[in-house]
Amino acid sequence: KKIIGELVIEPLTQRKIPIISDERVEIDFGSGALKITPAHDALDFAIGQDHHLEMRQTLNFDGKFNDLAGPLKGLKIKEAREKAIAVLKNNKHLIKEEDYIHEIGHCYRCGTIIEPMVMEQWFVKMTQPFGQAKKSLRDLAVETVKKGEIKIIPQRFEKVFFHWLNNLKDWNISRQISWGIQLPVWYCQDQNNEKCKSHNGIIVNIKNKPSKCPYCGSSNLVQDPDVLDTWFSSGQWPFATLITNKKKDFRTFYPTDVMETGWDILFFWVARMIMLGIYQTGKVPFKTVYLHGLVRDKDRQKMSKSKGNAIDPLAVTELYGTDALRMALIIGNTAGNDIIISEEKIRGYRNFANKIWNVSRFILMNLEDFDGKKPISSAARKKVLPSRARQVLILKTHDKQILKNLEKKEKKISFYLDNFRFSLAGETLYHYFWHTFADKIIEEMKVRIKDGKEKKAAQYLLWKILNDSLKMLHPFMPFVTEAIWQKLPKQNKEEKILMVTQWP
């Protein structure tokens, strides 16, 4: 405590710096003392602001030290560290060297260590009330979800949503990268009058590139080189894609019914879409948010190119088919939970696609003389002329039970889909088609098809179950089901394309 407020001489540049005390320093870590570089670290910046420390930017944009670094000028960081140690040793100022572990930021693309710098940026005020309602962007998003105008599935992520928003800070929307939408901001280089100076020469024009300064008339304008944060532009997707061509597109398709995305970008994308959508249109951008999990390998590791555990979807679809990959991604994938995917799993659903194809081929071979009409029931048999009596086939009680069970499955699967339980819907379909239809019903019908009296009833049952199964399987496995549908006998009003036909 005695030395707090005193000045010490930094041995590399001989600059005098103050000793301060702050509760954010971990006294049990290392020496218990912490160097503060307010211009090059987020925590140091916060401490520097609280203690009114000088902001000295020692790094240039090329990653080299500038004049403020003294003997380290012109060196890159790695080189500077080595020279700093050498200088301290030579001056006998280095007391001890010790290895330790700490967290540092890395570029998500190339893994290069990130060196923070203080720069002027553009921000969106997230918590400041605006408009007649005097509500902030954060207020709009929070109230919308609390009122139930937007439903988040699974519901437990509402707590995550509220936690993020309750700790929200102003949003930095400018980025110093080479790709993206350039900021629609220009700077007047002359600032010829007080009005221009009062605006700091800043000109914002989202429609056209200005030819001259609207404040002083100067044509010496320079556009801001920064680009917009990708979440700022993609956050406007629900309405921006609908207002550029035809107005009726916006009236018809906004708001969207369901927004489906990964749970990891609930805040980065979904929350921003909600806030920007309401701000721009006065309406919520969607009614339901369905959050899927992340795809992981069989060891539960997140798939990435750097780890070498990623599955190439193009190679997999070439080998096993798109339908197999779709089923592998759906089965076992529940809302908000990560899914394990492997080539073995995809191969298994390739076998299921083959099963559907082979079952359908067998049925089609035995439907050559089938007209797609239901056999006449026992109640209607008396109305049939004697000459046609032998052609009338009656569904047995067992047949009706099979159809009743099919109807139950259809209702169950519809319930699962309506409630976003896609994995259960897929599993139910898989087990019914393979283990009930293929393994039991078809084996039973093989005998009845050979019997002239039973053939029509057997044909109808096989056709009906395959017809409805293809409809239910189509959202999961669209390619194999559409190919089979084209060859299946149709009823009078049945659509030629499976994708637009009526659900069972």
- Total of domains in the chain: 3
23 and 140 part of one domain: no
3-class SS letters over 109-137 = CCCCECCCCCCCCCEECCCCCECCCCECH
161 and 230 in a single domain? The answer is yes
Tokens representing residue 431 in the block: 């087990």
Looking at the fold, whether 277 and 364 belong to one and the same domain comes out as: no
Residue 52 falls inside a structural domain? yes
Shared domain for 490 and 369, answered yes or no, is yes
Residues 266 and 407 in one domain: no
Asked whether the beta carbons of 377 and 501 are under 8 A apart, the reply is no
Asked whether residue 106 is domain-assigned, the answer is no
256 and 360 belong to one structural domain: no
In 118-184, alpha helices (H):
137-146, 157-166
Residue range of the domain that includes 140: 136-183+224-292
Let me know if residue 301 belongs to a domain: no
Give the closest residue to 33 by CA, choosing from 63, 4, 66, 68: 4
User: Are residue 147 and residue 285 in the same domain, yes or no?
Assistant: yes
pLDDT by 10s per residue, the chain, length 504: 888 999 999 999 999 999 999 999 888 887 788 889 999 998 999 999 999 999 999 999 899 999 999 999 999 999 999 999 999 999 999 988 888 888 888 887 788 888 888 889 999 999 999 988 899 999 999 999 999 999 999 999 999 999 999 999 999 999 998 889 999 999 999 999 999 999 999 999 988 899 999 999 999 999 999 999 999 999 999 999 898 777 788 999 999 999 999 999 999 999 999 999 999 999 999 999 999 988 888 888 877 777 788 888 899 999 999 999 999 999 998 999 998 888 899 999 999 999 999 999 999 999 888 866 666 554 444 554 444 443 445 688 899 999 999 999 999 999 999 999 999 999 999 999 999 999 999 999 998 988 778 888 899 999 999 999 999 999 999 999 999 999 998 876 667 899 999 999
The answer to the question of residue 15 being in a domain is yes
462 and 366 together in one domain: yes
Q: What is the CATH number of the domain that holds 157?
A: 3.40.50.620
Q: Which residues pair with 288 in a beta bridge?
A: 151, 258
Question: 26 lies in a domain?
Answer: yes
Does any domain span residue 115?
no
CATH code, domain with 453: 1.10.730.10
- Residue 302 lies inside a defined structural domain of this protein: no
CATH number for the domain including 57? 3.90.740.10
332, part of any domain? no
The rounded distance, in Å, linking the Cα atoms of 143 and 201 is: 38
Statement to judge: residues 288 and 395 lie in one domain = no
Q: Does one domain contain both 352 and 412?
A: yes
